[in-house]
């Protein structure tokens, strides 16, 4: 498959263009217009009304500039704030900075509320460090630090996990003589809990009480949630008993139990809540429904939904989305779509998560046409797809081997100003590798670093896998070295892909060197690793080493799977050790550890044909068919070849003819 004409630059990244008025210096960049002498003096309320209700940012900014230049109005603190909030809502921080500078030049004072708007804009744009720099200049704008401003600054830092910055800012706050309030403490509690410092959070709860700032439900819920997340449910339960629990705390406990798959205990909490006169809310029920759905147990999820209706609790879009996801995971596509249509008919407005869930479900069954249709419906309804939506579609096209579909989705994402994340890049690398376009995939990896979105281990593994599957092992080794240079640590999957690639091209010595490196790095070998190494040793005819690998695998508690047994059966048959292969074949089947599949039967039939003869092979073929395992083309190929190698014996042809008719 080739890219369409003119698609050679399909995957070249283009940053979304900004309106001319919002480049690096938005206000001066407006096209100058002749000065308009005012015919009437505008009121502040009229200007505010116009700015707040103008949907187009460029037009709002043009109006803001034009009335100032026409001398019809002198901007006030409130009009500046309205324009700054509008710019901040679109993350146009160059414009925000310019207007703040303009206020300073015009001597317009900055209120607490306005400065908080600026901090929130930086938080929205993911630029907490710049918010901190602006805070250090707060006095320049005629504004003084307050507890509220400190709280919003701390919250912005928390959102980006800038834990090392939070404590110094909190220290400055106390130096400025400001007493933290409950909101301050709750932010600090979240920071400690996000950093898994639950002991510190406990101490902070004590400090709050000592300073006369009583912890509220948010304080306790934050710590209870963290304890549940860390698997310390008993401690969470104990903490919850110290105060009058509310629905938020119970929700945290329910969520913790569901993550541990302790559904009976979670359902028991619903009974406990009812006994204490606390009504479970939509979050409580939806958490349990979502967990059941994730476990592919939609029937139990529906039973909880029924309880929800009985208690008079109305489900929301998240409840339905969880059920739809569960139906898709169980392969019940028609029921998932029926529920989706019912949800829409009953007036539940789907959000981006709901749309993405349906798109993901359709992609998982290869229905890309319908998935794209849902995307178009989403856009028509005014629900903007996010990077997860586009990544899901790109991944679906990748698995379907549709490069054009993936490329068009990528371009659509870029044209709408949606910045790709590492998942979107990885999906695109995958589809390029599936089409053997490795140079383009490498360019995309290089572009990721240039765009400030460096590839992660999964991205590198995807590229290495594609290269190894095509026999480009030298290139794959270079990618491994590049991965290390970038500070991205290879994991066991990285080594599994490289081992498989090296064994496939019979570079046994390098593969064995890689096995040694895995051992030296102390990486834990998984089932895939053992199967890959076992297969490599078998290919090299290294019987003793292969048995050592198998023994080591069992010693470490790794349970063999069908691939393991198929490798060993084929290996024994190749060596002419039919008795050993048959014993392994029969012993595993009897122990019910593994039921022989068509590959195992075909390998055994091949060995028997080569070492014993067609008569014995027919006995096993008969057993295979009677067990309901349908021979494939490989099975028949083995038998036909065996038949033609023993043309002197006419009897078996009639047996083969009978079995073919039965099959």
pLDDT at 40: 59
Write down the pLDDT at residue 472.
Answer: 94
Whether 34 has a pLDDT exceeding 50, the answer reads no
Name the pLDDT band for 552 (thresholds 50, 70, 90).
Answer: confident
The pLDDT of residue 80 is 87
Classify the C-alpha dihedral 210-216-222-224 as positive or negative: positive
Tell me the range of 27-31, 67-71, 494-498, 578-582 where mean pLDDT is highest.
494-498
Specify the residue for token string 């199967």. 531
What pLDDT is recorded for position 655?
45
Structure-block tokens of residue 239: 């903490």
What is the pLDDT confidence band of residue 475, given thresholds at 50, 70 and 90? Answer: very high
Instruction: Provide the 10 A C-beta neighbour count for residue 345.
Output: 8
At residue 115 the predicted structure's pLDDT band, cuts being 50, 70 and 90, is: very high
- Written as six digits, the tokens of 474 are 């030298």
Looking at residue 232, its pLDDT comes to: 87
Distance between CA atoms of 552 and 506, rounded to whole angstroms? 23
Domain boundaries, the chain: 10-109, 483-559, 565-663
| DSSP codes joined into one string, 449-518 | HHTT----HHHHHHHHHHHHHTT-HHHHHHHHHHHHHTT----HHHHHHHHHHHHHTT-HHHHHHHHHHH
Could you tell me the CA-to-CA distances from 541 to 96, 193, 546, 585 in Å, in that order?
70, 54, 9, 20
Q: Above 80 in pLDDT, residue 196?
A: yes
Position 380 scores a pLDDT of: 92
With beta carbons less than 8 A apart as the criterion, state whether 620 and 604 touch. Answer: yes
CB 385 within 8 A of CB 393: no
Cβ-contact 282, 314 below 8 angstroms: yes
Highest mean pLDDT among 89-98, 214-223, 367-376: 367-376
What does the pLDDT read at residue 331?
92
Residue corresponding to tokens 């603190």: 77
Instruction: pLDDT band for 23, please (50, 70, 90 cuts).
Output: very low
* Residue 416 predicted with pLDDT over 50: yes
Q: Select from 651, 659, 611 the least CA-distant residue to 635.
A: 659
Residues of 498-535 as b/e, b for ≥16 C-beta within 10 angstroms?
bbbbbbbeebbebbbebbeebeeeebebeebbbbbbbb
Tell me the percentage of the chain whose pLDDT exceeds 90. 36
Tokens of 236: 């969470």
Q: Quick count: other Cβ atoms within 10 Å of Cβ 341?
A: 10
pLDDT of 207 > 80? The answer is yes
Q: Residue 142 is encoded by which pair of tokens?
A: 């005629």
- Does the pLDDT at position 591 exceed 90? no
User: What number is the average pLDDT over the span 607-615?
Assistant: 86
Rounded Cα distance between 188 and 155, Å, is 9
pLDDT for the residue 592: 57
The fold of the 565-663 domain, in CATH, is 1.25.40
Q: Is 54 left (phi over 0), alpha (psi -120 to 50) or beta?
A: beta
Per-residue pLDDT of 628-656, as tens digits, reads 888 889 888 888 888 777 655 444 444 44
Which residues fall within 8 angstroms of residue 46, CB to CB, at 6 or more apart?
A: none
Give pLDDT, residue 106.
86
Q: Is the pLDDT of residue 396 over 90?
A: yes
Are the CB atoms for 397 and 431 separated by under 8 Å? yes
DSSP conformation class of 25: S
Q: What is the pLDDT of residues 240-283, one digit of tens each?
A: 887 777 888 899 999 989 988 889 999 999 998 988 888 999 99
Identify the burial level of 201 via C-beta atoms within 10 angstroms of its C-beta, where 0-12 means exposed, 13-18 middle and 19 or more buried. buried
Give me the pLDDT at residue 373, please: 95
Contacts of 138 (CB under 8 A, 6+ apart): 110, 115, 144, 145, 149
**How far is the C-alpha of 487 from the C-alpha of 492, rounded, in Å?**
16
Whole-number pLDDT of residue 425? 93
- Averaged confidence pLDDT in the chain: 85
Mean pLDDT of 377-403: 92
The average pLDDT across 18-45 equals 43
CA distance linking residue 632 with residue 644, whole number of Å: 19
The contacts of residue 140 (CB under 8 Å, 6+ apart) are 104
SS3 content of the chain, % helix, strand, coil (to 5): 70, 0, 30
Model pLDDT for residues 308-352, shown as the tens digit of each residue: 999 899 999 999 999 999 999 999 999 999 999 999 999 999 999
CA–CA dist 452, 455 (Å, integer): 10
Provide the pLDDT for residue 15. 39
Return the residue matching tokens 């579909």: 405
In this prediction, residue 589 carries a pLDDT of 55
Which pair of tokens denotes residue 50? 């116009």
Residue 9 has pLDDT above 50, yes or no: no
Q: Residue 537, Cα to own-chain centre: how many angstroms?
A: 36
The string of pLDDT tens digits covering residues 154-175 is: 999 888 888 888 888 888 888 8
pLDDT at position 287: 94
Q: What is the CA radius of gyration of the chain?
A: 33
| pLDDT recorded at residue 647 | 57
What is the spatial distance between Cα 300 and Cα 307, in angstroms, rounded to a whole number?
11
């Amino acid at each position: 498959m080739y890219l369409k004409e003119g698609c050679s630059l399909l995957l070249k990244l283009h940053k979304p263009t900004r309106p001319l008025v919002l480049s690096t210096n938005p206000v001066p960049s407006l096209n100058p217009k002749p000065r308009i002498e005012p015919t009437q003096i505008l009121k502040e309320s009229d200007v505010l009304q116009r700015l707040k209700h103008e949907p187009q940012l460029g037009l709002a900014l043009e109006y803001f500039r034009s009335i100032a230049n026409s001398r019809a109005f002198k901007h006030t603190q409130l009009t500046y704030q309205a324009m700054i909030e509008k710019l901040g809502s679109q993350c146009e921080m160059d414009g925000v900075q310019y207007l703040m500078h303009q206020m300073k030049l015009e001597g317009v004072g900055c209120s607490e509320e306005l400065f908080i708007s600026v901090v929130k804009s930086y938080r929205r744009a993911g630029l907490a460090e710049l918010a901190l720099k602006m805070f250090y200049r707060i006095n320049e704008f005629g504004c003084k630090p307050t507890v509220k401003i400190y709280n919003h600054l701390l919250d912005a830092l928390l959102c980006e996990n800038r834990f090392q910055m939070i404590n110094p800012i909190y220290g400055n706050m106390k130096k400025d003589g400001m007493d933290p309030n409950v909101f301050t403490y709750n932010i600090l509690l979240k920071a400690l809990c996000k950093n898994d410092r639950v002991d510190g959070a406990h101490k902070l709860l004590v400090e709050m009480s000592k300073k006369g700032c009583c912890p509220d439900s948010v304080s306790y819920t934050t710590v209870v949630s963290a304890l549940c997340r860390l698997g310390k449910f008993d401690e969470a339960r104990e903490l919850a008993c110290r105060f009058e629990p509310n629905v938020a705390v119970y929700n945290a406990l329910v969520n913790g139990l569901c993550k541990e798959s302790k559904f009976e205990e979670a359902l028991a909490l619903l009974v406990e809540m009812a006994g204490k006169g606390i009504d479970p809310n939509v979050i409580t029920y939806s958490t349990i429904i979502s967990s059941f759905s994730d476990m592919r147990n939609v029937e139990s999820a529906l039973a909880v939904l029924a309880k929800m209706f009985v208690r008079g609790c109305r489900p929301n879009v998240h409840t339905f989305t969880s059920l739809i996801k569960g139906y898709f995971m169980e392969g019940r596509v028609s029921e998932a779509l029926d529920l989706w249509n019912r949800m829409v008919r009953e007036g539940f407005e789907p959000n981006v998560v709901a749309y993405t869930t349906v798109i993901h479900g359709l992609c998982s069954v290869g229905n890309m046409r319908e998935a794209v249709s849902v995307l178009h419906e989403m856009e028509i309804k005014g629900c903007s797809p996010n990077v997860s939506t586009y990544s899901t579609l790109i991944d679906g096209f990748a698995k379907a081997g549709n490069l054009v579909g993936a490329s068009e989705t990528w371009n659509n994402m870029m044209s709408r100003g949606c910045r790709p994340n590492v998942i979107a890049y990885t999906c695109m690398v995958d589809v390029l590798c599936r089409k053997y376009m490795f140079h383009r995939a490498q360019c995309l990896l290089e572009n990721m670093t240039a765009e400030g979105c460096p590839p992660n281990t999964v991205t590198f593994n995807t590229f290495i896998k594609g290269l190894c599957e095509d026999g480009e092992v030298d290139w794959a080794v270079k990618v491994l070295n590049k991965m290390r240079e970038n500070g991205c640590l290879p994991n066991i999957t990285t080594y599994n892909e490289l081992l498989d690639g090296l064994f496939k091209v019979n570079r046994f010595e390098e593969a064995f060197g890689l096995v040694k490196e895995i051992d030296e790095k102390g990486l834990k070998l998984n089932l895939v690793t053992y199967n890959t190494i076992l297969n490599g040793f078998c290919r090299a005819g290294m019987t003793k080493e292969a048995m050592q690998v198998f023994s080591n695998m069992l010693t470490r508690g790794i349970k063999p799977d069908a691939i393991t047994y198929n490798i060993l059966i084929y290996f024994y048959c190749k060596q002419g050790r039919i008795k050993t292969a048959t014993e392994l074949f029969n012993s595993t089947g009897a122990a019910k550890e593994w039921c022989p599949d068509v590959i195992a039967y075909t390998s055994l039939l091949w060995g028997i044909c080569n070492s014993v003869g067609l008569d014995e092979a027919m006995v096993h073929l008969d057993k295979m068919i009677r067990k309901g395992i349908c021979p494939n083309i490989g099975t028949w190929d083995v038998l036909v070849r065996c038949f033609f190698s023993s043309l002197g014996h006419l009897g078996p042809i009639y047996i083969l003819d009978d079995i073919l008719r039965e099959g």
